[in-house]
Amino acid sequence: MKKEFHKENRELLYDSMDPGSLAILFSGHAPRKTGDEYYPYFANRSFVYMTGIEQENSILSAHKPDKSTEETLFLLPSNLLEERWTGKRLTGTKAQDISGVEHIKYIQEFKDFVNHLVQTNQVETLYLDFDKLTEDEPDSDAYKLASYVKSRYPFIRIRNLQPQIRKQRTIKRPCEIEAMKTAEQITKAGIVAMMQSSKPGMYEYQYKAEFDYTLANHGVLAPGFPSIISAGENNFCIHYYSYKGLARDGDMILNDVGACFDNVINDVSRGWPCNGKFSEKQRLLYECAYATSNYMFHILKPGIPMKDVDLTARKFNFEQLKNIGLCDKYEEAGKYIWHGGAHHVGYDVHDLVSPTENMITAPGMVFCVDIGIYCEEWGIGFRLEDNCLITETGCENLSAVTPRSIEDIEAVMGKR
C-alpha cells in the first residue's frame, strides 16, 4: 500500500477524536516461546493498517490539541550489534516514506513524551486500542499504558479506539480490493496445485507442501493464516492443523486456505474427492452447498442485516439437505451445519472479531460466504467458502476464479 492509503486511514481516525486528546497505537512484539527463543514477530494489524510499518516495538502517537493533529512515530534506534543478529532497523527516512508520518522519535523517549503532554494539561482523553478476546489474555502494551495512566493521572479519560477502527476496516478501499484480487489469483494457483497432485495415499502434509510451494513461487512466503487441510474423518474438526492424516480412496479433501498480498488476506475453502471423481453421495452433498452458495451470491446486495446473511444461508442449505432426504425439520439442521455462513475478511482472516449482528451490508464490505456440510454417517465433510464483495447494486464473488463446480473441479483433476 502507498503511504497515502495509511495517511487517509489516520485522518479518518483523527476526525473521530475529541479535541484535547491523545491516541496511541502499538506495533507489538514477539512473545517468548521457550528458552531464549521467541515466536516469529507478527505486527498488530490495526497498527499496520494505519502506518504500513511492520517493525517490532514501534509506536504511533497522535496528539489532537484542537482541530489539527500532531503525529509522532517512535522507533527503535540503530544498534549495529543487535542488527547483526536480527537485521536492519528502519531509519527515520524510510519510516517516513512508508507511513507518511513526518515526526520521528526513538522509543526511549516515549514515556517522557506522554508524561509531558499530560503534566502540561495538553491531554484530557487518551485513546487506546483495546482488543482482548478473553479476560485471561496477557495485557498488551495498550492495557499496560492504560494501567500506568490510571495510577498516575486518574483525571484522564480513557477511551477505546476499537469501534472506530472496526468501522474503518469494514469498508475496503479500491487498493485493498485490488490487493485481495491478486491474493485470490495466488490462492487459486495453490488450490489447483493441490487438486492436480491429489491421489489416494497422499498425506495431508503433502497437500500442504503443494500449497506452500506454489505460494512461495508467487513471492508469498507464508499463508495469510494457518492452513486447514484435512482428509476423511479429519474433516470433522473445523479448525484442524495436524496435517498427519492419510487420504484414502474415496475420501474428501477439505481445505480452508488463503494467501496474503500487500497485507490483505483472502479465505477460500474447496472440497474434492482425493481420487478426482465425486461419488454419488459426495455429489449430492456438494450440490447442496453449491446451490446454497450460488443463491447467496444471487441475492446479496447493500442494505441486508449481517445477521440475516447467516440465517438465510442456513435456511437455504437446510432446504437442500431436506430435498435429498437428510433432514425433515429445520431443528435438525445443526446435525449437518456446524458453523456460521459469513465472516468479514481483510487485514485479518477473521476481520473485525466482534459482534456483527447490527451491521448492515454496504458497498465495499468483503466477507466470506462459508457453506459447510458435515455428514458423519456418510463420512463426508467439506465446505465451500468464497469471498463476497458488496457493490453498489449487488455483489461480486472475488474467489470465483478458483474452480468451484463439480464439473470444473473434475476437469482440473483430469477426470473429465
Query: How do residues 57-100 score in pLDDT, each as one tens digit?
Result: 999 999 999 989 999 999 999 999 999 999 999 999 999 999 99
Q: Is the pLDDT of residue 150 over 60?
A: yes
Q: What are phi and psi of 168, to 5 degrees?
A: -70, -45
What is the pLDDT, as a whole number, of residue 356? Answer: 59
Q: Which CATH class is domain 171-412?
A: alpha beta
Q: What is the pLDDT of residue 133?
A: 87
Cα–Cα distance between 279 and 273 in angstroms, integer? 8
Inter-CA distances, 307 with 210, 303, 319, 356, 381, Å: 36, 12, 19, 7, 25
Question: CATH topology for 3-168?
Answer: Creatine Amidinohydrolase; Chain A, domain 1 (3.40.350)
pLDDT band (50, 70, 90) for residue 110: very high
Can you tell me the distance from the alpha carbon of 52 to that of 61, in angstroms, rounded to the nearest whole number?
Answer: 15
Q: What pLDDT, on a 0 to 100 scale, did the predictor assign at position 34?
A: 95
Tell me which of 121 and 357 has the higher pLDDT. 121
* 3-state class percentages of the chain: helix first, strand second, coil last, to nearest 5: 40, 20, 40
Q: How confident is the model at residue 289 (pLDDT cuts 50, 70, 90)?
A: very high
Average pLDDT across the chain, whole number: 96
Buried b (16+ CB within 10 A) or exposed e, 305-319: ebbebbebbbebbbe
Assess whether pLDDT exceeds 90 at residue 415.
Answer: no
Query: Residue 354: pLDDT band by 50, 70, 90 thresholds?
Result: low
Collapsed DSSP state (helix, strand, coil) of residue 240: coil
Q: What is the pLDDT of residue 416?
A: 61
Using 50, 70 and 90 to split pLDDT, how confident is the model at 341?
confident
Q: Quote the DSSP letter at residue 17.
A: S
Q: Is the pLDDT of residue 358 over 90?
A: no
Over residues 287-294, the mean pLDDT reads 98
pLDDT band at 168 (very low <50, low <70, confident <90, very high): very high
End-to-end CA distance of the chain: 42
Q: What is the pLDDT of residue 355?
A: 57
Q: pLDDT: is 21 or 415 the higher one?
A: 21
Using 50, 70 and 90 to split pLDDT, how confident is the model at 353?
Answer: low
pLDDT at 346: 96
Q: Domain map of the chain by residue range?
A: 3-168, 171-412
